[in-house]
């Protein structure tokens, strides 16, 4: 089997990432207080839906950007190829960069790496445009 990857070891690449933030979602049961009254009395208990936290955090995706501090050279390439009867013959190419740790660092999918800053920014612009429609 001959496996062809988009990037080779030591190639310099520009990764892109999608930013985001945690948004606090107030519990509807206790209205964010974390406690509820028992049977319309003065007795209170921790809200059974939010466990007294008043709500929960939910990840909200933000815009794509060039992850400039992570630009670096490919130090590891991982490939997963499945038989067609499993995952419809899925192929996945993953890379680790010297800038984000090889062996115990960030694993970057091939579709988030680009050979130039201009191409990386163009892809961010494209993804942000389709995301914000």
pLDDT at position 133 over 70: no
Task: For residue 15, report the phi and psi dihedrals to the nearest 5 degrees.
Answer: -85, 150
Q: Is 132's pLDDT higher than 80?
A: no
Tokens of 109: 């999918």
Q: Please give the Cα distance from 106 to 108 (Å, whole number).
A: 6
Q: What confidence score (pLDDT) does residue 98 get?
A: 95
| pTM of the predicted protein model | 0.73
Is residue 29 over pLDDT 80?
A: yes
Q: Label residue 72 exposed, middle or buried (CB < 10 Å: 0-12, 13-18, 19+).
A: buried
Give the whole-angstrom CA distance, residue 7 versus residue 116. Answer: 12
Instruction: Give the tens place of pLDDT for each residue, 31-74.
Output: 999 999 888 778 889 999 999 999 999 999 899 999 999 999 99
Q: Which of 34, 77, 36 has the alpha carbon at shortest distance from 55?
A: 34
Phi, psi of 116 (to 5 degrees): -145, 160
pLDDT for residue 61: 87
Choice between 84 and 126, residue whose per-residue pLDDT is larger: 126
How far is the C-alpha of 28 from the C-alpha of 96, rounded, in Å?
A: 43
């Amino acid at each position: 089997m001959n496996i062809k990857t988009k990037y080779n070891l030591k190639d310099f690449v520009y990764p892109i990432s999608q930013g985001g933030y945690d948004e606090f979602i107030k519990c509807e049961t206790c209205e964010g207080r974390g406690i509820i009254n028992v049977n319309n009395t003065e007795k209170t208990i921790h809200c059974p839906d939010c466990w007294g936290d008043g709500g929960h955090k939910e990840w909200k995706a933000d815009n794509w950007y060039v992850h400039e501090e992570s630009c670096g050279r490919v130090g590891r390439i991982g490939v997963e190829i499945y038989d067609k009867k499993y995952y419809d013959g899925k192929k996945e190419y993953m890379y680790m960069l010297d800038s984000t740790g090889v062996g115990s660092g960030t694993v970057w999918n091939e579709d988030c790496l680009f050979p130039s800053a201009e191409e990386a920014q163009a892809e961010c612009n494209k993804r942000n445009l389709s995301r914000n429609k």
